[in-house]
Structure 1
Amino acid sequence: MSAPNPIVGLGGRTDHIATVPHLDPSRLQLSPEEGTVLALVGRVERIDAVLSRSTLGEARTIAVLLSLRAKGAIVPARVVARTAPAAPVVDAAMSEEVDLDPEQKREIIDLERAIDGMDHHAVLGVPRGATAAEVKQAYYNASRRFHPDRYFGKNLGSFRARLERIFKRLTDAQNALSRAEQRPATPAPVASPAARPPSGAFASVPPASSAARPPSGTFASVQPSPAASGAAAAARPPSGTFASVQPTPAPAPAPDDPESEARRAERQARLARHPYMARSHKLTELIARGRAAITRGDFERAYQDFNHVLGLDPKNREVAALLVDARRKHDLHRAQTEVERGQEMEMRGDFAGAQSAYKLAVSLNGDNPEAAYQAARIGRELNQDPQEVRALAQRAVELKPGRVEYQLLLAQVLLVAGQKKQAKHHFEEVVRLDPDHAEGRAALKKLRWTFS
């Protein structure tokens, strides 16, 4: 299909026409038809669109457009299609769910991407020629922002590795600049004053006459003058002696400057507030306090302190061992305390409370025979679970089989449970340990043992 014929003076029907910018129609004395068509053109429009929307007919509309073109009201226009804006690049790290706000995320990401192309001065943000104090201060300021320990206890996700990489680069830059500052400059060699001629003086060398010059191919014999020989001999020290060299006195130490002391104290205080140093100081303080608590027998406090340290530093094996030891000593001490509390409650007639204390002591220290025996004894008197009572009595006998009361209680529990053969064995142990034990002997006498 062929394209529509172009309109001479305007262009192709699919071309665009536009109203001249800042046009004042009142100055052109436009007719009503011209005003109507100009309104259809608007700012810019395709010719075929104007023709289709006009009510004047195509031929008349073309004539009006040509008239407007002649009056300078409209001009051909070229419209460049706007490309769709590129979709924004979404950084996956920015959408990661971590305990950082968007500004912190962007700062960390941008610095990590640029830090490899930066020199040591740019990394720390100091000018070239910065002093050691300026480098140290810049490193301290950067550490406060990018040290991983600043975000201790927070969910950092992939940003933890980014922070560690940034902090390592900061540390490398600080170390390199500090070493460069401390490296002494190599002094230039200085000639000895004796070897230099006096300022402004030149050696006077008289020209040698032709008669004084030796023949070609021979060497002149130069004899030192007597005066010069005597002076040289006088200047040399005697053979076997050395010239006395006076040592340069050391400079007197500068008096203590109160302002310098104050600045040093301020730097130390700032360093102590550094997140890494504060954490290290906290760990040291907790460990020392825990050790002191163990020494004075406060095992509960020691356990709390060591447990706190292990939460801050899970890989500390020494503290893990101290925590286990503190827990063991704490449980032993607490078990003994519960036994004593149970005895007091039993004296007041609170047998249920006493048994609870005894059972708690057994759970804290399974190797306490007295706690197991007392819990079994009161449980038997209160008609509690026979299986639990038997297990407690059995545990007491296993831990200390030489106690008569332990053997007797277990024998009585077994007898009630109908286990006569096992009960007989423990009654015999009672009599063996105490031949005059009346209750044990009576039990053996009354029982009729059946063996199968």
Structure 2
Amino acid sequence: MVRVPRPVPGCDIKSLPLRPDEAYLLSRIDGVVSERELSLITGLSQAEVTTALDRLFVLGAVDFNEPTAPVSRRAHPSVAPSSGATSTRGTEGPSSRTFEGGFRAGPSSRRFEGTVDAPPASRRSFEPLADLPPPTRRSIELSAERRSGADTGVEPPPATRRAIDLTVEQPRIVDPELEEPVDLDHAKKKRVLELYDALDERNHYELLGVSIDADKKQIKSAYWVLAPEFHPDKYFRKKLGTYKQRIEAIFDRLTLAHDVLTSKQRRAEYDTYLEQTRRNRTMAALLEHDPADIPAVVAAAEDAPGNGPPTLPGRLVGTKLASTPIRRTVADAGGTSPAPATPPTPTNDPFRRYDSTRNEARRLQLDRYVLAAKVALERKDLAAAANAYRLAVALAPEDDALARKAVEIQQQAAAELAEGFLRQAEYEASQGRWSEAAMSFANVCKARGDDPRPHERVAFCTLKTGQNNRRAIDFARRAVKLSPGVGEYRLTLARAYMAAGLETSARVEMERAAELSPNDARIREAIAQLRAQMKKPDGADPEK
């Protein structure tokens, strides 16, 4: 039998103890949709819908229409063929879709006027709600625990055949890239996508799957294992779609990694670049004024092997403040020795004892930070020293000499970091990695705001990427503003205007560049190329 639930008029739903799935199911009940259709609409299994409807019925939220037997597509048993008719196919006898009483004139052809005898009440047919005992809190809790699978001591009812047969499969999330119709199996698609997405995150060693101290033979072996898998000739005459560009990019990157790491000179340059990148990342993290960096500087003063001077960590580590006693004084690191602490005078005032203990702890922390900064300076670790001085100034803001020293070291550290980013950017630009080079040159600009060269390089590398012309114009304008008499900067600004479609502005900058550098053959050739690109068949100017 098919039950059709319907909401009970006047029922205060907000006062009922409904679970989220029951409230969602109740929102889909309109007195027309059957129990089985509710399972298909909501995505719940038939057993879950049945359990929820039973509880909603007990709570008085829903009622059920008279149960009806499902209508078969075959002839109804109550309609018998006329005597003498052996078949209704191709004759004027009653059709298998007709019913006694004929169809009712209405919008749906499935409705009919003939009545069907209601079957006997099933176990799921209920009497009016008034004849049933009201639900108790214990019955509601048992129902919730039974649904969650908890052991309630009450044996749950066995699963019905209908609940097993009509379980609705949950919809799965489809990745459009994996579903692209190409001549690759699912595993191959997934491998190509994962490796392609990781190209910008992995260095040459990680891409080939070798250690940083691998020899030339190991590098070649790793390459010849991976290269045939992504060689374009392997996919000749195959339908690849968007996977074609991904596979070619992977193969090109594998080949580049092999060529760099098997060349002694190029590998040395690449290793220097990796080390510089690591140092830049560490220094940038230490110079960030983030409270999360405080444990790193505190740990620097405590990282002392034996009785030697404390050392600063090369990376951020967390440790508790003042977890070990100070083994050296500030005087040991080259500073002035503070006056020995005078033991506090015994007193019975608890507030004085508290203030004395707190001031002593503050002084010990200040000494530790100053000591860590001086040891870092001895090791030429300007970033760690600047961070330690910053923490010391926070503990002693009234010390002007300490504040001036902190500002001085901070400026030196920023200059060193800018130089490191400059070396990183130049290597990236030499390898044609324009997007990464533009970001590194932009980091140089943060510390060298009055240097026009890195600003021009940001604009140049950004134009090479073919993206964000607005950013290229801004940095090129800044370079021209800082050095208006340099023709190269004018030429870069003209290129940026040209890429943005501002040809009139581009012509003005080209003329100024030609005036500033009349004897520079490279600039004259670049200007000629730009003018050739500007020529239009109709001679129209986009800005006019």
TM range (shorter): 0.3 to 0.5
Q: State TM-score, norm by structure 2.
A: 0.31
Question: Which structure: larger Rg?
Answer: 1
Which structure's residues are more often helix, by fraction?
1
